[in-house]
Amino acid sequence: MSRARQPPLVTGISPNEGAPWTKVTIRGENLGTGPNDLIGLSICGHNCLLTAEWMSASKIVCRVGPAKDDKGEIIVTTRSGGQGTSTVSFKLLKPERIGILDQSAVWLDELNYYDMRTDRNKGISPLSLRPANPLGIEIDKGKVPLKDLENMFPSMSGDFTSENFSATWYLIENHSSTSFEQLRAAVGNLKKQASKKNEGSLAYVKGGLSTFFEAQDALAAIHQKLESDGTEKVEGSMTQRLENVLNRASETADTLFQEVLGRKDKADSTRNALNVLQRFKFLFNLPLNIERNIQKGDYDVVINDYEKAKSLFGNTEVPVFKKVYSEVETRIEALRKLLLDKLLETPSTLHDQKRYIRYLSDLHAPGDPAWQCIVAQHKWILQLMQNCKEDLVKEQKVGGVGLELDRSSALNRISLSAPVKRGGSFQTPKDDSWHYKSPQQVRFVEKLSDVVISQLPNFWKLWISYVNGSLFSETGEKSGQVEKLKKNARQRQNDFKVNISVTHEALSALEIPNDLLQVIQDLLQDLRVHCLLTTLQHTEEDVKRLAEKEDWVVDNEGITSLPAQFEQCMVQMLQSLKEPMECKPGEINIFNLDVVQDKSCEQCVSIMKVFIKCLEHLSTKTDGEIGTSHLSVDLASPDFGSKPEQRLLIILSNCQYLERHTFLNLAEHLEKNGFTTAEKIIRVSIEALRQLDEYLFETYIEKKSDPIVGSLESGIYAGYFDWKDCLPPTGVRSYLKEALVSIISVHAEVFTVSKELVSRVLSKIIEAVAEEMSRLMQCVSSFSKNGALQARLEICALRDAIELYLTSESLTSFKQALEALPQLQSGADKKLLEELLNKFKSSMKLQLNCFKPASFQPVKR
């Protein structure tokens, strides 16, 4: 027997890096005994056997294919030595398009080049070309999209040089409408190409033998010339002269192409600059467009363009873009100032005010533009009223009227106590003009009333839009900023109400008649009612969002943070109402008004029911809607709270806590803050909560009891068991033990959440199990002696194991089940029953520990 050859070993590759289809020379040891011995060659994971030429046992020439890996080993496989190894690696470079004037460090082979001078009968090396049409027939490109082909042939390719080549893909892509006869001719062409390839490199050598001899002679002559030239002087040597010739050729080439390359570089730079300008013309033209649109008054267009530019270039690091964007920000800042000046101009219409507020909000102007507008309008109206007073003072001086008015307190104190006497200082002057026909005080009040009537309605509408949040909805602000602005508006509303109260107190101190103060009192009362109802509405919206804050982390009492968050939300609402609802001397307690009582009671009940609805919504969420990344890790299960049954238990525990603690605390808070209907609010809320509690409890019991109850009948009659014909009992059967284990698992699940729910849940489940056992026993027509003993053993074992959670209903069911059985006649049967019961309790002692009184917590309902 001949000794097996050593595995191939690759020790060198030249070049060691290159683009796909680069021709490489592989050197090493034991690279095969001949072309037929070479059966595998891969470079960077790509099969290169198709282009491989075996030269000798230490040399192979091939082309590198389009491998997926950037760098990899060269693995040679031969029949005689098997799969080899490699001590070197090859780095695959990404191909780049190189123009005719671009410099290149490597020679680019023209892969689709055909040498027409070569005789067709001569052998052709597989390295000399890469045929574009391997079938040799006319290519007819189909209309099937490339994406459809990729979907039809996943992870395959239509490139015949690829490892994942798919012939079907290639035919659909290039010969979708080719006739069958043409395809048959293509098969013949492929066979001819295969037979030519089998001729090997010998035919290629024979075909170009004359060329090889010419090259050999030329190399020998050069070698001989160089050897004889070595004795001459270096300055006159052939290599020195050759170097000078090459240098002059290089200088001449640089001179010829330097101007061309310079123009090309300049043209490329200009083209690149034009491409950038064209691609980003929106940004470069934006400063000018902003100026033009501002002059035309198209502020909406400016805002839209600014938002677009901010999203695209707000965080750019490109210097050119940063410079242009900074210019945009400068123009926008000037626009903000312009719009703010227009907003604060007086007089102005309500429509213009809202429009400018929306513009400033969309431009993210600092501060609160709406409040600034309200303050400016307030100052302007006060100035108009002040002007009325100054005009009156001037008239008094001109007419010689001796009525003194205090400039500083004229707007806060109006005294009408001085009687108007006939023939006094209010007599008509000599010119008889209509201007002096009425008393000056009357004209002053008329002018003041005109100012108030003409300016106050729009000012009041703006204020109401600001307070109730509709102004922010119109501006289209983002939700986070809207909530912040609404919060500021609520604070302004409380401040406004306090200012009204202070004003009312100041006017009351002036001893103004009650009928004149009644209008302000009515206004103050309406404001207090509006403040109450608006605050309750906002609280309802806040409560709706509490469900998003549920984290399903339970504490030692089995509750989450949700009840505490709800109570805190309600307490904060009551604290915010404390000052506005406080009754001053002479004011009416609005909670004594029937309308306010009904509306506030209805709103509070709505808040409670919204929270109860949140609990119900949380209980019906699917597993995919519940995130587990924030759940507690202190509990037994790492995904605790992610199962629907566990969420039902958590919400049931929260419901119990709400009924016993939270709602009672809220009742006290409501009574302390003047809500006379607190008892009704809590009573209705507890009724709604109990309905939810009962529904969730029944849902949980149904999910847990149905599988246990459903397994009893099939377990009893497993193995064709017959009560009339059975063996003497030897113990409790497996079905009952499995049912007890299922009850224990429910006990563990409930105990983990809330100990107080254990008795309530297990008592209900055991009632269902006892009722089913009673039904099954009553359905049996007759029992044998052994069957009756077996049935009594299992019923007694179940009853004794869960004795702690028996109710009157479950006791009645067990009693009916035992009454359906024949009575035990002999003492031996009774003794056997007692022994088997003791055996059962002893064998399941560990499992039944959870049913002992030590782990029992009574439910307080």
Report pLDDT for 39: 92
Confidence class of residue 258 from pLDDT cuts 50, 70 and 90? Answer: confident
Task: Kindly indicate the confidence band of residue 694, based on its pLDDT and cuts at 50, 70 and 90.
Answer: very high
- Identify whether the C-beta of residue 8 lies closer than 8 Å to the C-beta of residue 28: yes
Between CA 115 and CA 112 the distance in angstroms is: 10
Token pair in block for residue 719: 């193995």
Q: What's the Rg (C-alpha) of the chain?
A: 49
Q: Which tokens sit at 262?
A: 């310079």
Report which DSSP code applies to 165.
B
- Average pLDDT, integer, range 833-854: 83
User: Residues 737-757: what's their mean pLDDT?
Assistant: 89
Q: Please tell me the least confidently modeled range out of 190-199, 229-238, 639-648, 726-735.
A: 229-238
What's the average model confidence in pLDDT over 583-612? 82
Average pLDDT, the chain: 78
Q: d(Cα 118, Cα 121) in Å, to the nearest integer?
A: 9
DSSP sequence for 833-847 = HHHHHHHHHHHTTTG
Give 407's pLDDT tier (boundaries 50, 70, 90). very low
Containing 373, the helix (H) or strand (E) segment is: helix 369-399
What is the longest distance spanned by two Cα atoms in the chain?
154
Is residue 552 left, alpha or beta, with left meaning phi > 0 and alpha meaning psi from -120 to 50? left
Q: How many residues does the chain have?
A: 861
Greatest mean pLDDT among 115-119, 421-425, 624-628 lies in 624-628
Which has the closest alpha carbon to 812: 826, 799, 823?
799
Per-residue pLDDT band at 843 (split at 50, 70, 90):
confident
The whole-number pLDDT of residue 19 equals 86
Q: Tell me whether strands 85-86 and 9-14 are parallel, antiparallel or unpaired.
A: parallel
| Number of alpha carbons in the 13 Å side-chain half-sphere of residue 432 | 0
Q: Span 620-630, mean pLDDT?
A: 57
pLDDT in tens, 203-235: 556 666 777 788 888 888 887 777 776 555 545
Instruction: Write down the pTM of the prediction.
Output: 0.46
95-104, 263-272, 400-409, 616-625: which has the highest mean pLDDT? 263-272
Q: How many CB atoms lie within 10 A of CB 273?
A: 10
Q: Measure the CA–CA gap between 231 and 22, rounded to whole angstroms.
A: 40
- Give, in order, the Cα–Cα distances in Å from 795 to each of 471, 783, 803, 817, 854: 72, 15, 12, 8, 24
Residue 770, number of CB atoms within 10 A of its CB: 26
Identify whether the C-beta of residue 23 lies closer than 8 Å to the C-beta of residue 43.
no
* Segment among 58-72, 166-180, 637-651 with least mean pLDDT: 637-651
Is the pLDDT assigned to residue 639 strictly greater than 60?
Answer: no
Residue with tokens 């009408």: 416
Rounded-to-integer distance, Cα 53 and Cα 832, Å: 92
pLDDT of amino acid 410? 37
* Helical axes 663-672 vs 562-581, angle rounded to 10°: 10
The residue ranking higher by pLDDT, 638 or 453, is: 453
Tell me: the pLDDT tens digits for 367-379?
888 888 888 888 8
Instruction: Supply 722's token pair.
Output: 């017959």
Q: Which residue has the tokens 């040891």?
A: 29
CA-to-CA distance for 540 and 544, rounded, in angstroms? Answer: 6
Contact 765, 712 (CB under 8 A): no
Contact between residue 166 and residue 152 where contact means Cβ atoms under 8 Å apart: no
Tokens of 748: 């563990």
**Which residues fall within 8 angstroms of residue 585, CB to CB, at 6 or more apart?**
none
**10 band by pLDDT with thresholds 50, 70 and 90:** very high
The letter for the amino acid at 342 is K
What 3-state class would DSSP assign to 387?
helix
Pairing mode, strands 17-18 and 89-92: parallel
Q: Which of 371-375, 632-636, 695-699 bottoms out in mean pLDDT, i.e. has the lowest?
A: 632-636
Q: Which of 32-46, 376-390, 444-458, 774-788 has the lowest mean pLDDT?
A: 444-458
The rounded distance, in Å, linking the Cα atoms of 598 and 481 is: 34
Rounded to an integer, the average pLDDT of 256-278 is: 82
pLDDT at 166 over 80: yes
Q: Pairing between strand 23-29 and 9-14?
A: antiparallel
Look at residue 458 in the predicted model and tell me its pLDDT.
81
The confidence score (pLDDT) of residue 225 equals: 76
For position 493, what pLDDT does the model report? 60
pLDDT tens-digit series, residues 702-725:
988 899 989 988 898 888 888 888
Least confident span in 118-132, 450-464, 529-543, 735-749? 118-132
Q: What is the pLDDT of residue 635?
A: 41
Q: How confident is the model at residue 131 (pLDDT cuts 50, 70, 90)?
A: low
Query: In angstroms, what CA-CA distances link 726 with 789, 810, 827?
Result: 10, 28, 20
Q: What's the pLDDT tens digit per position in 509-567?
A: 555 556 656 766 777 778 778 888 888 888 888 888 888 888 888 888 888 888 999 98
Per-residue tokens: 173: 């892509």
Distance CA 689, CA 823 (A): 48
- The predicted pLDDT at position 809 comes to 92
pLDDT computed for residue 430 by the predictor: 42
Residue matched to tokens 């290089």:
250
**Per-residue pLDDT at 420 exceeds 60:** no
Band (pLDDT 50/70/90 cuts) for residue 508 is low
pLDDT at 642: 56
pLDDT of residue 496: 57
